[in-house]
């Protein structure tokens, strides 16, 4: 079986800035894979290239065997992407938002109804789905957006900082939603985060990024054992020379 994502020697240059510098990693089907590191490490740039939103300067990325440059339309048919700063339409209810977004992926009304049913189950907002999104808390909006990204059961869901800005309880809810959905449906998740404790809970494998390069990678427990550290934060600090 081909890799869900295969990135080979990917570089991205913006003027004089090398956002990515020879990035290579592989994501297996059905796993949660994390690109982790500090702000500015290149995580979002990498996700946007995988999502076909940015072209790499050099290198190659394939999603389930399809090149993200030459076969971008094909890739877009079986991925979803949730940016860090995504928002729902304020004046639509949660139900209306899910129906509207489902109409882009579904082939008929029956599929839309099933996606919305799935989305309602994922987000767990209950009767609040009848209310306009502008009345939602930040945590409720994020749960709605995660539901939108997952309800079509994509082959690959790409999530950029899925719990950014949420409090402890809301973050826990979103993490639980993601992990349970992967276990139940076998969707592959590629996510970015600078919260390394969160990544330990979610991810099967991780790649630690710094200044556009992968500085370490593997299963979280294996990395902690290799670097004799209690958590990934300390692993990262040791790898980049801060500890």
Q: Could you read off the pLDDT of 183-214 as tens digits, one per residue? A: 999 999 999 988 888 888 899 999 999 999 99
pLDDT at 119 over 90: yes
pLDDT at 52 over 90: yes
Structural domains in the chain, CATH included, are 5-239 (3.40.50.300)
pLDDT at 37 over 90: no
pLDDT at 142 over 60: yes
pLDDT at 243 over 60: no
Residues 225-239 pLDDT 10s? 999 999 999 999 999
Reference 103, options 90, 95, 83, 68; nearest CA is 95
Q: In residues, how long is the chain?
A: 243
pLDDT at 167 over 90: no
pLDDT at 242 over 80: no
Residues 58-111 pLDDT 10s? 999 999 999 999 999 999 999 999 998 888 899 999 999 999 999 998 889 999
pLDDT at 1: 58
Tokens of 152: 């079509």
Decide if 23 contacts 42 (C-beta within 8 A). Answer: yes
- How far apart CA 74 and CA 157 sit, in angstroms, is 15
Decide if 144 contacts 97 (C-beta within 8 A). Answer: yes
Cα distance between the two ends of the chain: 40
pLDDT at 240: 85
Map residue 217 onto helix, strand or coil. Answer: strand
The mean pLDDT value of the chain amounts to 93
Average pLDDT for 43-60: 97
Question: For the chain, where are the E strands, in sequence order?
Answer: 5-14, 17-27, 32-36, 58-63, 66-67, 79-82, 156-160, 188-193, 205-210, 213-218
Average pLDDT for 131-149: 94
Residues 54-73 pLDDT 10s? 999 999 999 999 999 999 99
């Amino acid at each position: 079986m081909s890799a869900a994502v295969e990135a080979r020697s990917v570089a991205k240059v913006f003027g004089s800035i090398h956002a990515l510098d020879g990035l290579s990693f592989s994501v297996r089907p059905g796993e949660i894979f994390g690109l982790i590191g500090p702000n500015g490490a290149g995580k979002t740039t990498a996700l946007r290239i995988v999502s076909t939103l940015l072209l790499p300067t050099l290198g190659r990325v394939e999603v389930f065997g399809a090149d993200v440059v030459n076969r971008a339309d094909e890739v877009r048919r079986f991925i979803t992407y949730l940016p860090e700063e995504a928002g729902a339409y304020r004046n639509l209810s949660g139900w209306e938002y899910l129906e509207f977004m489902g109409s882009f992926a579904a082939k008929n009304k029956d599929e839309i109804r099933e996606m919305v049913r799935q989305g309602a189950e994922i987000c767990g907002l209950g009767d609040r789905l009848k209310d306009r999104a502008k009345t939602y808390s930040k945590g409720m909006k994020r749960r709605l957006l995660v539901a939108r990204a997952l309800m079509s059961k994509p082959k690959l869901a790409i999530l950029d900082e899925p719990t950014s800005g949420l409090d402890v309880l809301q973050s826990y809810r979103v993490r639980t939603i993601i992990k349970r959905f992967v276990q139940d449906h076998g969707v592959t998740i590629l996510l970015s985060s600078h919260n390394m404790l969160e990544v330990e809970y979610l991810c099967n494998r991780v790649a630690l990024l710094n200044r556009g390069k992968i500085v370490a990678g593997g299963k979280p427990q294996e990395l902690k054992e290799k670097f004799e550290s209690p958590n990934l934060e300390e692993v990262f600090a040791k790898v980049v020379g801060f500890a």
